[in-house]
Chains A and B, each alone.
Chain A
């Protein structure tokens, strides 16, 4: 122990270097601990360095008064390999080169004590080189040989890398050319029935232009029309479908009993009320060519058209077919595209054909069809979309004998959102839905073998499956930033906008693509449905002169089967410290009973308009209440996420209709000493 403590007292190799002569030795020597006695005489005082070259110890050759190339290991010093950083070596080298000239005339004594006079060498040869000139030559030869070898190796590696890169680039370009050349297939003709022609005439100027045809754009259109009487709003959407809501695509639509659900896209809420995923039927919209002329204005949608260039100075955009549209005020609500795994991108076309990147209506339609045809589907991704899809498919697994596997790198489902204990609990529930959950799984490569896919994981496990659904995140669509000269955020991605969602004087951004400043929680980018509605509505208000900042916190929700349902608001990040307050669950605390009691069947109806709600599965045996023990049952409760002791996020675990109080707590931004007291405000024991 004494050795250790003395070692710790040593500040480091550099400090020792600075001491003249005899000082260089001290601490290092003690580190080895074993040779203290042997090192006592001055001749033997030398510093132990990384590597083994201490051999001088007992040989006394040092006394010759000449710097020797000390080679070889062993000797008095044990090269225990615990060595210090290579920095010591370097300093010694430099000092040696300098000191050698200085100290040579001083004679043996000085030479003795400064071990770093010893000529640094990389040699592995034993000691005892005859002459200085010979040793020089040898030294040069060895150094030269090593450098040449290293150079050859580096050159070889770089060349290999370049070859691999060029081959990958060619495969990717070849693939993209194929995709481009293959007909995108009369999607334009399948457009909204209201448009009689494949290419509707496009107005050359609109007062309000919304780029993107999703939730945020629709909410903005509604907001603009509500506040500006007679407003004329044009939505330009790359998607061939009219604006629709996405949450049912991974939840309610899968639980529908209707065999034609892929055509009707209608889902039944738990109270029996049916609605379509489309926000409005086609008759709501005005044909684009009539937009400038219709009496009271309206909303027109251009489907299947992409905005490729934006001229901010000229207030004008250019579409993919060359059409130009000028605007007074513009909203960018381009959303995002699903990310792909590099391992899958590298794989061949055969793998790509068996892959679904889930985001749009057509992805739902194709996956629904595939789920009836194949025997095994693997979902990669353990977040909201991945877990919901896995549960939805798992339900089918039970009735149709489909194998559902879920892979993700985290330790449990929703690992980045929920604290570990809840994530583990959720994972168990997902397993009970019939999903084979494989956490801690990182995909290394995917290949086709036979007619099946073979997924190889980094830890060696192999998964054989028929189809892959990738739910590994969303890449915001910011291609317009270049031509428009808009800023893209480097931390969160997306267009950077201020607290009022404004990027430039006539340009606003909302939805998944907006990285905005939240006055309460800081800069963030949110990819949830309610946020798209809230931000879209706010952008619409600001486009009509309101100048309001982002203030109303949006919420989000998720249901994973009949037992796990939660609503959340704010920054819900599992890396933050959390405080969870739970009560025992009874049979009444499930999403299903919440909707039955409130009689609306619509979660968060007060938050936004009628939204998709959870449709729980057929009533299976609900968990009976029991006293929490080792493996506790986190039936219902509330989890607070803290940042600097302020509550910045709240998860309402299996308790519902309490979002306003949660919103209030986050809005206050107060430091609460006892969060149990705050939890009392939620009445978690009641329904």
Chain B
């Protein structure tokens, strides 16, 4: 059972697990998904890519940022059956750029990065296979 203590202006409550088993009656204000002030995830409400998403790390802002952005935008808007298969050129350009900066884009992590980023965009398994294709073409 819980008990409560007051130390001056500070109140202290000790609760057991049972006390907290009943669902909370606290009400939270519903979130507006289109709130322009809120920090957005990777995909903005209008469908664009949020290049400023912390999840991308420095990929969009580094020396190869432009190549990365063009490759990813192409991939994101691609409507091909194998998504992104029309973006091979952009990905190749990105890879070439990344090879110029090995300590920024470590080679062994590079493909993991691409896999991870592509998984962020979509959840379908197609991307995994596409990424593996990419690895093969490099």
Contacts of A578 in B (CB 8 A): 9-11
Q: Mark A518-537, 1 if CB is under 8 A from B, else 0.
A: 00000000000000000001
Q: What residue in chain B is nearest A634 (Cβ atoms)?
A: B12
Contacts of A132 in B (CB 8 A): none
Find out whether the CB atom of B28 lies under 8 angstroms from the CB atom of A665: yes
B36 within 8 A of A: yes
Q: What residue in chain A is nearest B59 (Cβ atoms)?
A: A226
One of A229, A280, A609 near B69 (C-beta < 8 A): A229
Q: What residue in chain A is nearest B9 (Cβ atoms)?
A: A577
The stretch from A8-16, A75-83, A136-144, A673-681 touching chain B is A673-681
Q: What residue in chain A is nearest B35 (Cβ atoms)?
A: A551
A412 to B39, CA, bound (A): 37
Find out whether the CB atom of A280 lies under 8 angstroms from the CB atom of B62: yes
One of B13, B62, B69 near A580 (C-beta < 8 A): B13
A431 to B37, CA, bound (A): 44
Given contacts A227-B51, A280-B62, A549-B37, contact A679 B15 (CB under 8 A): yes
Most A CB contacts (10 A, CB to CB) among B58, B61, B103 go to B61
B52 within 8 A of A: yes
Q: Mark A610-642, 1 if CB is under 8 A from B, else 0.
A: 100000000000000000100010000000000
A223 to B65, CA, bound (A): 12
A126 within 8 A of B: no
A460 to B12, CA, bound (A): 36
Find out whether the CB atom of A226 lies under 8 angstroms from the CB atom of B54: no
Considering only residues 35-74 of chain B, those with a C-beta below 8 Å from chain A are 36-39, 51-52, 54-58, 60-63, 65-66, 69
Interface size class of B (residues with CB under 8 A): 35 or more
One of A420, A583, A607, A672 near B10 (C-beta < 8 A): A420
Q: What residue in chain A is nearest B17 (Cβ atoms)?
A: A685
One of A226, A421, A548, A681 near B37 (C-beta < 8 A): A548
Q: Mark A660-687, 1 if CB is under 8 A from B, else 0.
A: 0000110110101010111111011100
Find out whether the CB atom of A609 lies under 8 angstroms from the CB atom of B54: yes
Find out whether the CB atom of A683 lies under 8 angstroms from the CB atom of B66: no
Find out whether the CB atom of A610 lies under 8 angstroms from the CB atom of B101: no
Given contacts A581-B13, A583-B16, A632-B14, contact A420 B103 (CB under 8 A): no
Min C-beta distance of B12 to chain A, whole Å: 5
Find out whether the CB atom of B20 lies under 8 angstroms from the CB atom of A680: yes
Find out whether the CB atom of A582 lies under 8 angstroms from the CB atom of B12: yes
Find out whether the CB atom of A298 lies under 8 angstroms from the CB atom of B12: no
Find out whether the CB atom of B51 lies under 8 angstroms from the CB atom of A283: no
Q: What residue in chain B is nearest A632 (Cβ atoms)?
A: B14
Find out whether the CB atom of B103 lies under 8 angstroms from the CB atom of A283: yes
Min C-beta distance of A417 to chain B, whole Å: 13
A552 within 8 A of B: yes
A580 to B54, CA, bound (A): 32
Find out whether the CB atom of B62 lies under 8 angstroms from the CB atom of A284: yes
Find out whether the CB atom of A551 lies under 8 angstroms from the CB atom of B57: no
One of B7, B15, B16, B61 near A222 (C-beta < 8 A): B61
Contacts of A668 in B (CB 8 A): 28-29
A86 within 8 A of B: no
One of B7, B25, B66 near A229 (C-beta < 8 A): B66
A107 to B138, CA, bound (A): 120
B23 within 8 A of A: yes
Find out whether the CB atom of B104 lies under 8 angstroms from the CB atom of A580: no
A577 to B8, CA, bound (A): 9
Find out whether the CB atom of A420 lies under 8 angstroms from the CB atom of B7: yes
Find out whether the CB atom of A680 lies under 8 angstroms from the CB atom of B23: yes
Contacts of B20 in A (CB 8 A): 583, 679-680, 683-685
Find out whether the CB atom of A284 lies under 8 angstroms from the CB atom of B63: yes
A279 to B7, CA, bound (A): 44
Find out whether the CB atom of A284 lies under 8 angstroms from the CB atom of B10: no
Q: What residue in chain B is nearest A683 (Cβ atoms)?
A: B20
Given contacts A280-B62, A421-B10, contact A609 B37 (CB under 8 A): no
Q: What residue in chain B is nearest A294 (Cβ atoms)?
A: B63
A681 to B57, CA, bound (A): 31
Find out whether the CB atom of B63 lies under 8 angstroms from the CB atom of A298: yes
Min C-beta distance of B70 to chain A, whole Å: 9
Given contacts A280-B62, A420-B10, A583-B14, contact A672 B52 (CB under 8 A): no
A87 within 8 A of B: no
B137 within 8 A of A: no
Find out whether the CB atom of A541 lies under 8 angstroms from the CB atom of B13: no
B24 within 8 A of A: yes
A230 within 8 A of B: yes
Find out whether the CB atom of B10 lies under 8 angstroms from the CB atom of A223: no
Min C-beta distance of A13 to chain B, whole Å: 37
Find out whether the CB atom of A223 lies under 8 angstroms from the CB atom of B26: no
A56 within 8 A of B: no
**A-contacting residues of B (Cβ < 8 Å)?**
2, 7-17, 19-20, 22-29, 31, 36-39, 51-52, 54-58, 60-63, 65-66, 69, 101, 103-104
Give me 6 other A-B pairs in contact (C-beta within 8 A), A226-B61, A628-B14 excluded.
A225-B65, A582-B13, A664-B28, A680-B23, A681-B24, A685-B17
